[in-house]
Amino acid sequence: NAGVTQTPKFRILKIGQSMTLQCAQDMNHNYMYWYRQDPGMGLKLIYYSVGAGITDKGEVPNGYNVSRSTTEDFPLRLELAAPSQTSVYFCASSNLGGSYEQYFGPGTRLTVT
């Protein structure tokens, strides 16, 4: 099993550009999450999904959108990128939700200049 995979690993965007961060998991997990981690900071929840077709906002959703059309994939869309969105983005999945272990992908390092 590949677990949780994320693409791309690195990306540099200009202000105002858009992009989609891809996340996929092959563990048949219902719950998936997107976090951002700024230098020296913890993980902040952006969006999460409890199953295909169901998404909900986390702590810091502004400037982002998500969709969940399949169990496997949970892409994160950045519209009109801003320097404040420079961060490391981690996708995670869980079998049964908040009471259980989350498995993280390797992360995407995004710089907006």
Partner 1 sequence: RKEVEQDPGPFNVPEGATVAFNCTYSNSASQSFFWYRQDCRKEPKLLMSVYSSGNEDGRFTAQLNRASQYISLLIRDSKLSDSATYLCGTGATNKLIFGTGTLLAVQP
Chosen residue from 13, 25, 29, 48 binding partner 1 by CB under 8 A: 48
* 8: contact with partner 1 by CB under 8 A: no
Contact segment (CB under 8 A) with partner 1 among 15-23, 60-68, 73-81, 94-102 equals 94-102
Token pair for 62: 């502004």
* 1: contact with partner 1 by CB under 8 A: no
Tell me the sheet residues that pair with 23.
6
CA distance 99 to 64: 26
Tell me the closest approach of the beta carbon of residue 80 to partner 1, in angstroms: 26
CA distance 84 to 26: 31
